[in-house]
Amino acid sequence: MTSNQKDSLDAVVVGAGFAGLYMLYRLREAGFTTRVYEAGESVGGVWYWNRYPGARCDIESIYYNYTFSKELYQEWTWTSKYPEQPEILRYLNFVADKFHLRQDIQFNTRITAAHYESESNRWKIYMNDDETVYAKYFITGIGCLSATNIPHFKGLDSFEGEWYHTGRWPHEKVDFKGKKVGIIGTGSSGVQAIPVIAKEAEHLTVFQRTPQYTVPARNHLYDPEYIKRSKENFEMIRKQMRESTSGNGFISRDRSALDDSQEQRYQVYENAWNEGGYAFTSTYKDLFVNEEANKTAAEFIRTKIKEIVCDPKVAEKLLPNYYYGTKRPILDTNYYETFNRKNVTLIDVKNAPIEKLTPKGLRTADAEYELDILVFATGYDGMTGPLFNIDIRGKNGVKLKEKWEDGSKVRTYLGLSTAGFPNFFTITGPESPSVLVNMPAAIEQHVEWIADCISYLQENNVETIEATIEAEQKWSNHCREVAEMTLYVKTDSWYTGANIVGKPRSFLIYLGGFDVYRKICDEVASNGYNGFHLS
């Protein structure tokens, strides 16, 4: 280690969201000196930054939490099926306080770079305030959706109104009352924000590029009896989260959509629509792999849109035509209904694209819209974006961004590690199941694997662990082969990187199932970390 080293730790973790908090807990429990660095002024990760109106989770709350502590599960009580952002943030603050995590978190600090120094086998980590710290292990818990995408529209600087991105929402309330508001984007964030903003704004103009499939969430307050039972059934819920394909409470029916008659299928979809939530995606096992099966679900939702939206011309503009579910399936509360309001206008910016922002509003190819406030619900540079925002350099100064050729050649072993970058772990990194699994479940699995791995290295006097080139090549190929068997790769989405101008297209999520993935990771560990070079 170098003499000017100010501080030396066993591990540095980036981010104090679900991933970083648990990583800190596990490593500290195992006796490793660990510090988390967090850009925000408090804990929460995406739930700290995403404070836009209507922000809530789309996974049922009794599953959208940690299961590592039975006591924690008993102590915390969720109020509704799909909790709003403030409640999730309260939960994460509760966790941080219960386990005294804040004392090892440095807030208001952004990690800008991490360089591996081969002479000392240490990572030198740089912060935005010019401080540096050394650590043996460098671990990112920065999520897959933390690098905001604000499209480079001409004239943004000239716009005299207020503008916000959903993922960097101010802490104070934004007042829409009496205002002409515009919103660009109709993904999960836009679909949640639109009905809420519409209720308050004088007028809301929705700039839609791609119409979306969304099904009703049918959120409701929890019955105390249900909560009591979920606490009693903690072990079962935990097992279900850890051993299921999706890390979640729902299990797809083992039946093809094509095995049912049209009438039967309609009834199955209708029941799921009425039940709400992800009951719809679980109706048939082949919705995301079989084009014909997929079309039946897509057509059902298109029919619903035509029934709900009163003006046939508006309904027509809202009809999606990509494969259902190949952009993240969305749950909504009165989304399509909102287009029946008199103060809401839907503008199709696929046919008449946004040209620029002007001092008074937004101009498309065929009209100008006066706006006081503009909301960017334009999403994220997913998967690689957060990692590339940090200047990560491995052995011989090789940059991660260069090794992965700006994202066109991402290669990881198990989505956890990459050759040439020893002692570096990515929690829910590219090529892990991550965003297509219930995130807290995916995070717990990664954190536990990493913590166990580091303990193993310590117990066996191993200084460094590094994925081999062969192992990562094999894993990356496997990920791609599995993805190619699905319909996901056929759609432009943030899953495929197609949402970012100039970003190479690649599908960086492991789709073989969370249960299968866990077994693979466990086997690697129990075989003495095969596929890794230990020295």
Least distance from C-beta 205 to ligand N01, angstroms? 13
User: Looking at beta carbons only, is 210 or 384 nearer to ligand N01?
Assistant: 210
User: Looking at beta carbons only, is 198 or 453 nearer to ligand N01?
Assistant: 198
| 184 belongs to the binding site for ligand N01 (CB under 6 A) | yes
| 377 belongs to the binding site for ligand N01 (CB under 6 A) | yes
Least distance from C-beta 185 to ligand N01, angstroms? 3
Q: Show the DSSP H helices in 123-261 as ranges.
A: 188-200, 224-232, 234-243
Residue 50, Cα to own-chain centre: how many angstroms? 12
Distance CA 511, CA 516 (A): 10
User: Looking at beta carbons only, is 199 or 356 nearer to ligand N01?
Assistant: 356
Nearest to 514 by CA among 252, 162, 155, 173: 252
43, 108 contact by CB (below 8 A): no
User: Looking at beta carbons only, is 281 or 423 nearer to ligand N01?
Assistant: 281
Distance CA 433, CA 384 (A): 14
**Judged by CB under 6 A, which of 44, 379, 407, 433 binds ligand N01?**
379
314, 144 contact by CB (below 8 A): no
Site for ligand N01 in 296-335 (CB under 6 A): 328
Where does this chain touch ligand N01 (CB under 6 A) — which range of 25-33, 308-316, 374-382, 390-398?
Answer: 374-382
**Judged by CB under 6 A, which of 205, 244, 378, 418 binds ligand N01?**
378
139, 14 contact by CB (below 8 A): yes
* Binding residues with ligand N01: total (CB under 6 A): 25
Return the bridge partners of 393, or none: 115, 399
Least distance from C-beta 450 to ligand N01, angstroms? 23
Least distance from C-beta 71 to ligand N01, angstroms? 26
58, 31 contact by CB (below 8 A): no
Count of other CB atoms within 10 angstroms of residue 134: 19
Where does this chain touch ligand N01 (CB under 6 A) — which range of 103-111, 237-245, 378-386, 422-430?
Answer: 378-386
Q: Which residues of 168-190 are buried (b: 16+ CB within 10 A; e: fewer)?
A: ebeeeebebeebbbbbbbbbbbb
60, 220 contact by CB (below 8 A): no
| 185 belongs to the binding site for ligand N01 (CB under 6 A) | yes
**Judged by CB under 6 A, which of 45, 190, 247, 415 binds ligand N01?**
190
Site for ligand N01 in 22-61 (CB under 6 A): 57-58
**Judged by CB under 6 A, which of 188, 240, 326, 412 binds ligand N01?**
188
Q: List residues near ligand N01 by CB under 6 A.
A: 57-58, 145, 151, 166, 184-190, 192, 209-210, 328, 349, 354, 377-380, 435, 494, 499
